Amino acid sequence: MTYVFIHGSGCTGEVFAAQSAAFAGSIAPTLPGHGTPGSPCSIDEFADFVAAELAGRDLRDAILCGSSMGGAIALTLGLRRDPRVRALVLIGSGARLRVAPAMLERLESDFAAGARELAPWFFAEPEPARVEAAVRSMLLVGQAQTLRDFRACDAFDVTERLGELSLPLLALTGEHDRLTPPKYAAFLADRVPGASARILPGAGHLAMVERPDEANAALRAFAELT
């Protein structure tokens, strides 16, 4: 089995650096438009890209691990019943990812300032180095694609389709995630047959960045049971 790490809005594959180092053979592709060619504006378009990556690398037992928007992409591929997908892990994600209109307006009116206001919300403990890294990532991705990302999230809603999933699923959420609180993980565990939820103490939205050892341990345990 191979972990395929899928990043979220305004990020790149670098956000999974601690996981890429810990899981030999894993991949963490950077999605189109994120400092790379392309300008996707829907979760389905991102899912098409990931599906092509799986096929191009001939991966047959992929565990898709998506953070935030990446979780929506993973869910989409799970609902498509992509034969290369073995299981799903969602970190700080959910079946519906509404975005506050005020946040979209701020990112549209003054992107740099909006990025600096948003970045601390990614962490339970907004240490300056982590916050600056998140800001740099959003600035690298740029205003247009970051807004496309968040609007794609805002349009995403598969709450009525969760019963169709037949894959093992683990929903990981940081204890102090203010963007997708633990109730999102609990909802998935309640609606997806056989799914489970786990809360990572002391972590925020980017739990795999803030608590990498705990997140990695949860990922290893899940893979062993899958």
- State pLDDT tens for residues 58-82: 998 999 999 999 999 999 999 999 9
Nearest to 87, CA basis, from 170, 181, 200, 24: 170
* 162 — pLDDT class (breaks 50, 70, 90): very high
pLDDT at 226: 86
Asked whether residue 57 carries a pLDDT value surpassing 90, the answer given is yes
Q: What is the pTM of this model?
A: 0.97
Domain layout of the chain by residue ranges:
2-225
Concatenate the DSSP letters of all residues of the chain into one string: -EEEEE--TT--GGGGHHHHHHSTT-B-PPPTTSSSS----SHHHHHHHHHHHHHHTT-SSEEEEEETHHHHHHHHHHHTT-TTEEEEEEES--SB----HHHHHHHHH-HHHHHHHHGGGG-SS--HHHHHHHHHHHHHH-HHHHHHHHHHHHH-B-GGGGGG--S-EEEEEETT-SSS-HHHHHHHHHHSTT-EEEEETT--SSHHHHSHHHHHHHHHHHHHH-
Q: List 62's β-bridge partners, or say none.
A: 2, 85
* Per-residue pLDDT tens over the stretch 90-128: 999 999 999 999 999 999 999 999 999 999 999 999 999
Residue 207 pLDDT level (bands cut at 50, 70, 90): very high
Mean pLDDT of the chain, nearest integer: 97
pLDDT over 70, % of the chain? 100
Question: Domain 2-225 belongs to what topology?
Answer: Rossmann fold (3.40.50)
| Rounded Cα–Cα distance for residues 79 and 86 (Å) | 12
Q: Is the pLDDT of residue 139 over 90?
A: yes
Backbone angles phi, psi at 127, to 5 degrees: -65, 140
- State yes or no: pLDDT of 14 exceeds 90: yes
- Tell me what pLDDT residue 159 has: 97
